[in-house]
Each structure stands twice: as structure tokens, then as C-alpha cells.
């Protein structure tokens, strides 16, 4: 006996749900590698900022360039058949950088400590919004990132850059390891 219309529709919905879950897990695995790379780079950038405070622009320029090169290579390797993956990746990263630059220009002068909070808090917001739309684990990543970075800003004192390295870079690395397990 063939299935009824309702049974067929229910089966199609279940197939669609399975496809969405598989896509989500693939997204988590791809994002895991990006988080680990950017986390390690942010740790190095924060430690470099603590050790060489007079060279912040050069340190973070190097972090961004290395991150872009590695990120693009990973995007190509991770999704070679997805059309436009590199352009979308670059658009996201360059949008974050543009936001950071514009806020520095608008609110100039910012202390290095204030300026260092723009990107992690903006990225935390992006993760929360993205999580609310489709990937719930990103909500946790964004919320933890925002909380730890804010606590570092408010309470770290002279060891700020080291605490930010743990809060920002550490959150990314641990989150990447967590997503990799999915």
C-alpha cells in the first residue's frame, strides 16, 4: 500500500531535517579550523601587544595578513566545490576589519585597550546572531567570547593583554576544538 499524502509529506520533512543537521555539522567542522587558526593568531597578537606596545599596528597587520592567507587556503581546501567561498570568506573578514577601522576613525582617539575590544565584541555579536539564525552552538561561543573579553577589559589591570589573549584567542581555540568533535 503506497503512503498517504500526509505520510509522504512527513517523510520529506524528516529528510529535510536530516539534511539540515548534516549541513550544520559540516559547517561546525569547517568553522572549527578557522577558529583554531584565528585563536592562535589572536593569542600571538595579544602577547606581541603586551611585549611590544609601541608596534601594535605592525603586530596586528601581520596577524591579519597571515590570518587572511591561511583562512583563504583553508576555505579553498575545505570547500573546493562551493562557488564563491573565497569571496564570501574575504567579504566577512574585510567587513570586520572595515568596521574596526571606521570605529577607530569615528571615536579617535581610542586607547589601545579600548580599540582592542572592537573586533572581539563585534565578532561575538556576529556569532550570537548567526547562532540564533541557524547554528545554536555559535550562541554559546559568542556569549562566552563577549563575557570573557569584557571581564578582561574591566578587571585585568596591567596584565590586560595576557588576559585578552586567553579570553579572545583561548575562547576561539577551545571553541574550535569543541566544534571539531561534532
Strand boundaries in the chain, DSSP class E: none
Averaged confidence pLDDT in the chain? 88
Contact 49, 112 (CB under 8 A): yes
What's the CA gap between 164 and 42, in Å, rounded? 9
At 181 the pLDDT is 84
CA distance 77 to 95: 22
Query: Is the confidence at residue 7, as pLDDT, over 70?
Result: no
Q: Which residues lie below 8 Å from residue 66, measured CB to CB, with a gap of 6+?
A: 41
pLDDT digits (tens, 9 = 90+) for 85-98: 889 889 999 999 99
Reply yes or no on whether the pLDDT at 122 is more than 90: yes
Contacts of 21 (CB under 8 A, 6+ apart): none
Q: How many beta carbons lie within 10 A of that of residue 148, not counting itself?
A: 19
3-state secondary structure of 52: coil
pTM of the entire predicted model: 0.84
**Confidence class for position 132, pLDDT limits 50, 70, 90:** very high
**Which residue in this structure is represented by grid cell 577607530?**
104
Amino acid at each position: 500500500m503506497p503512503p498517504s499524502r500526509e505520510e509522504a509529506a512527513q517523510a520529506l520533512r524528516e529528510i529535510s531535517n536530516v539534511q539540515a543537521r548534516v549541513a550544520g555539522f559540516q559547517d561546525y567542522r569547517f568553522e572549527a579550523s578557522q577558529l583554531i587558526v584565528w585563536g592562535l593568531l589572536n593569542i600571538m597578537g595579544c602577547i606581541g601587544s603586551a611585549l611590544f606596545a609601541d608596534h601594535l599596528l605592525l603586530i596586528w597587520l601581520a596577524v591579519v595578513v597571515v590570518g587572511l592567507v591561511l583562512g583563504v587556503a583553508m576555505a579553498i581546501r575545505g570547500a573546493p566545490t562551493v562557488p564563491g567561498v573565497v569571496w564570501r570568506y574575504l567579504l566577512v573578514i574585510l567587513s570586520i576589519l572595515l568596521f574596526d577601522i571606521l570605529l577607530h576613525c569615528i571615536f579617535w582617539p581610542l586607547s589601545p585597550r579600548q580599540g582592542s575590544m572592537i573586533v572581539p565584541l563585534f565578532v561575538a555579536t556576529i556569532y550570537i546572531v548567526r547562532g540564533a539564525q541557524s547554528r545554536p552552538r555559535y550562541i554559546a561561543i559568542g556569549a562566552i567570547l563577549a563575557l570573557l573579553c569584557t571581564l578582561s577589559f574591566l578587571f585585568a589591570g596591567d596584565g590586560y593583554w595576557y588576559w585578552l589573549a586567553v579570553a579572545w584567542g583561548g575562547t576561539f581555540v577551545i571553541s574550535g576544538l569543541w566544534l571539531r568533535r561534532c
